[in-house]
Structures are given as structure tokens and as C-alpha cells.
Amino acid sequence: MTTTSFNALLSTQIGNEFTASQQYIAVATWFANQDLPQLARYFYRQSVEERNHAMMMVQYMLDRNIAFTIPGVPAVRNDFASVTEPLALALQQEKEVTKNIEDLFRAARGENDALGEQFMLWFLKEQVEEVASMTTLLNIAERADNLFDIENFIARETIGDGGRDASAPEAAGGAL
């Protein structure tokens, strides 16, 4: 199959998803080190979710016989001065991913790639949830009187924890 703008962008996005996964591990371990187990668990799950997104894209490329390489992951941020810093970073990261997914959708549409366009629809829907969840977490953290309020909120609510979506694309090697 020929290389297109959509295919090149999707190959790049695989790396972006793996980078997001690594960043969320760094955020999770920072929260764990701060004795905030609910936030740590939330971001460990987010890391797996981002890894699964990358593997869904890998499977799509394999299924369409599109040549690609798995890129390396750049260094991620590991140190934060306050509980809101990693949450703000996560929100910014999700907004950037949303822009990337929108660009992918536009590229597929512009190339009359109906399969690529259809594939990206699930990710567009997913990004609405991701940005909303991170926005909520940051808002709660900014309003909380103490860190236990955030921990209690996460323990009580199911933000970003909807379980396996039956409409999700298959992940190469299976979703974790």
C-alpha cells in the first residue's frame, strides 16, 4: 500500500500514544511517591489505556498492510512541585492528542480514505471522554481543601473507568 499523509500521521501517532503511556507511568509513580494511591492507580490505568490505543493503531496498520516503524519514546517529565502540575500536564497532553486525532480524521477524509476516517471516529469519541475526565480531575484538585478530598473523589467516582468498550478497535496482541 502506498504511503499517504494519513498513514504517516498515524505512524507518528503510534509514537505519541506510547509517549503518553510512559508519561502517565511517570505521573502515577509520582503520585505513589506522594502517598496518593487513588491518583496513582488512576494514572497506571491511563498508561495501559494509552498503550492499548497505540496497539490498536498498530493492528490497523498491520491489517491494511501499511509499512511503519515503532518509534522510540522521548524522555518524560518525572518531577512536579504540586498535585495540580501533573494533572495540568495530563490535560494538556489529552488536548494535544485530540488535535492530532482531528488532524488524522481530516487527512483521511481529504484522501478519500473511508476506512481511515471510520477508524478515527472511535478515537474522536474517546478523546471527548479523556479531556472531560482530566478537566474534572484538575478542577477537583484546584478546589480541594486537602489531598484526601481528591483521593476520596477518585475512589467514589468512576471517571475514565468505563471498562472495555465493545466498539473499540482490536489491539495488536490483545488489549491489556
Q: Which set of grid coordinates corresponds to residue 119?
A: 477508524
Please give the mean pLDDT across all residues of the chain.
Answer: 92
**Per-residue pLDDT band at 157 (split at 50, 70, 90):** confident
Mean pLDDT over 18-34 rounds to 98
pTM: predicted TM-score of the whole model, two decimal places: 0.89
